[in-house]
Amino acid sequence: MNNKILIVEDDQFLREFYQELFMSEGYLVDVAVDGEVGLRKLLEGGYDLILLDIMLPKKDGLQLLRDLKVQPPKTANGPVVVLTNLGQDAVIKQCFELGAVGYLIKSALNPDQVLQEVKSYLK
Amino acid sequence: MLSEDKILTFLKLEQLALDIEDSTKLLEQFLPIVLEELNLSGYPYVFLSSLFIDDEGKIKQTFFTDKVNKQTFREVTKAENLFQNETLFQKGSEWEMKVMYGEAAVVSDVAYFINPSYPNFSQIRSLLLLPIQHARRLSGILILASAKAADTVNAEEIEFGEMITRLVNLSFRLQDTEGSLTKITKQVYEMNAKLHQLDKLKDDFVSIASHELRTPMAAIRSYAWMALHKSDVPLSDKVERYLVRVLMSTERLINLVNDMLNISRIEGGKIEINPESVDILSLAKDVVDEAYNSRGVEKNIHFSILEERLPKVLADPEKLREVMLNILGNAVKFTAEGGSIAVSFFTDGKVVEVSVKDTGPGISKEDLGKLFTKFGRLDNSYTALSTSGGTGLGLYISKSLIELMHGKIWASSEGVGKGATFTFALPIATKEILERVDQFRIRSKGEAKGLEPAAI
């Protein structure tokens, strides 16, 4: 069965880019444009991996992770990998404390590297 | 000539003026004592007042003390009711001319000066007007309101009054200086608070701006990469070359944003240095592998590491890695295809030196000094930099980091065409140094921030 990925990303170009990238690799991809939609989809659950941005409209990524801790999803989700451009230590630390398993800086990676990282978290 | 008791009184008052500790209230405390002493010396003055004027003769500040309650009022408004005129020296009268030229004047026209509503008005029969001079200019008058008639005022009384005037002026200047100092201190404090606020705003701006900049750059990078590597039509050589350049320039731009962010963190004291004992040889090997795999392979550069037994150094491993990456990255950038890069070590028992020698274009003597400054790139290196993603900030960052770790960094070259050697030295993690490792630790001011990824 194909892995199902949720991309929570507000920037349209990047969102569509990652969507296309993962679909071309055979993944099933769902997207969310802000933190609220992201949380709603995550509470339904059933994703094998979540790529989460931090600076998001309506609800930022950190708050989404916090909400997720108190509200269990209907169907369990796979790991959350943060995919952002924020590089502050404090943010990175908080993400891991809130349960993220990875932290990727968008501008530092080429698409093949993003794919590689995601594959490593899906194993 | 003053009699001895007057001189003693003067000396006593002088000492008093110098002894008053709270200089901001010097005159308020001093004037009542002066009036009391004058009365004790046989001069029945009803009140003592000092007026300070501006250049137009307008009264700026007044001090007043009264025989009855011995209190000093320093509010200008209080004295307005006492004096009839706000401006002096307008009429050119005899007393005005005298005072202007620094002489004392005695007047019996009390009502011209003093408001008849002043409770003790009827006791005053004459006024002794003494000029207060500062820097050879008239800066005010000391007024002594006497219960004696004008014609009884003798030379001794005037001379004594003049000496007292000098004391009053001295006290006023002391007070003024102290007041200005307090004001300046306050201004400096406020300015400092403002600067802190601006610094915070700048920091916020830098991190938000860099985030905002990196988002579109990530999109450009991603799409250009896809166009280059995953195109569904075959690319012509031309289009491929264009896309490679778009990608390289984007990476360079991203590196620049990262480096500027790092510099803002280093200069703002937001970087933490957590020193520990580091095996520099294995760290160097790791970084050499990384440099080799990223660009060394395609340029067919030969790497060598002169392995030897080395003591461990005291350094923050993350920052040390950053420096190594930068120096090796530079060596790769500037070394032509088929060239070689050699890493070697040296220790004198106190420090370990790490040298990276390349077979690149070399550096002229006069250019060596520019290397470690911000954007201190050299004229002949522009070509290499534009195709390699260099930012002109890497060595400045490396130098800052090495110095934060109590080390040194320098470059040498035997000249243009003869390659260059970059060397840094770090203290050996001896037992003594490890015992006082806390002295090498640097805490961040405010929220600590790590470094953005280094570019090779």
Neighbours of B11 (CB within 10 A): 10
Q: Based on the structure, what is the number of domains in chain B? A: 2
Q: Do residue B298 and residue B412 come from a single domain?
A: yes
Chain A CB contacts of B222 below 8 Å? 14, 17, 21, 110-111
Q: What is the mean pLDDT of residues A16-30?
A: 92
Give the mutation candidate from A107, A109, A110 for the B interface (greatest B CB count, under 10 A). A107
Q: State which of B99-113, B171-185, B345-359 shows the largest mean pLDDT.
A: B345-359
A110 touches chain B (CB under 8 A): yes
- Tell me, yes or no, if the pTM score tops 0.95: no
**pLDDT for B112:** 81
User: What interface predicted TM-score (ipTM) does this complex get?
Assistant: 0.82
**Chain B residues in contact with A118 (beta carbon < 8 A):** none
A103: domain CATH number is 3.40.50.2300
A105 touches chain B (CB under 8 A): yes
More confident residue, B452 or B345: B345
- Min Cα separation A110/chain B (Å): 6
* C-alpha span between A43 and A29 (Å, rounded): 16
Q: Containing domain of residue B162, as a range?
A: 4-184
Out of B184, B200, B225, a domain closes at B184
Cβ(B408)–Cβ(B355) under 8 Å? no
Q: Within this chain, do residues B176 and B282 fall inside the same structural domain, yes or no?
A: no
Domain count, chain A: 1
| Contact status of A104 with chain B (Cβ, < 8 Å) | no
Q: Is residue B171 part of a domain?
A: yes
pLDDT over 50 at B401, yes or no: yes
- Cβ-based contacts of A106 with chain B (< 8 Å): 214-215, 218
Which of A90, A107, A112 comes nearest B218 by C-beta?
A107
Domain-located, residue B82: yes
Q: Are B270 and B447 in contact (CB under 8 A)?
A: yes
Instruction: Tell whether B353 is covered by a domain.
Output: yes
Interchain contact B299–A (C-beta under 8 A):
no
Q: Where is average pLDDT lowest: B34-43, B321-330, B344-353? A: B34-43
The pLDDT score that the predictor gives to residue B453 is 60
Residue of A nearest to B247 (CA): A110
CATH number of the structural domain spanning residue B335: 3.30.565.10
For residues B180 and B314, state if they share a domain: no
For A63, B278, B328, the CA distances from B337, given in Å and listed in that order, are: 50, 33, 15
pLDDT at B378: 60
B308/B433 same-domain check? yes
Q: What 3-state DSSP class applies to B256? A: helix
pLDDT of residue B200: 78
For the purposes of burial, counting CB atoms within 10 Å of the CB of B346, is it exposed (0-12), middle (13-18) or buried (19 or more)? middle
Examine residue B363 and state whether it is found in any structural domain, yes or no. yes
Residues B291 and B434 occupy one common structural domain: yes
CATH number at residue B67: 3.30.450.40
Is residue B99, in this structure, part of any structural domain at all? yes
Instruction: Pick the closest to residue B326 from B389, B384, B387, B415 (CA basis).
Output: B389
Yes or no, beta carbons of B223 and A13 under 8 Å apart: yes
Number of helices and strands in chain B (H, E): 13, 13
Range(s) of the domain holding residue A20: 4-122
pLDDT at site B76: 44
Amino acid B130: pLDDT:
92
Mean pLDDT over residues B189-207, rounded?
Answer: 82
Do A24 and B219 lie within an 8 Å CB cutoff? no
- Within a 10 A sphere around the Cβ of B177, how many other Cβ atoms? 11
Task: With respect to residue B230, please indicate whether it lies within any of the assigned structural domains.
Answer: no
Q: Quick check: is B401 in a domain?
A: yes
Task: Report yes or no: B430 and B355 within 8 Å, Cβ to Cβ.
Answer: no
Asked if B163 and B308 sit in the same domain, the reply is: no
pLDDT at B77 over 50: no
Query: Please, which pLDDT band fits residue A52 given cuts at 50, 70 and 90?
Result: very high
Q: How far is CA B358 from CA B50, B295, B330, B362, B366, in A?
A: 81, 15, 9, 8, 19
CA angle B264, B270, B276 (to 5 degrees): 125
Do B286 and B152 lie in one domain? The reply is no
Are residues B31 and B157 located together in one domain of the fold? yes
Domain endpoint, select from B124, B157, B184: B184
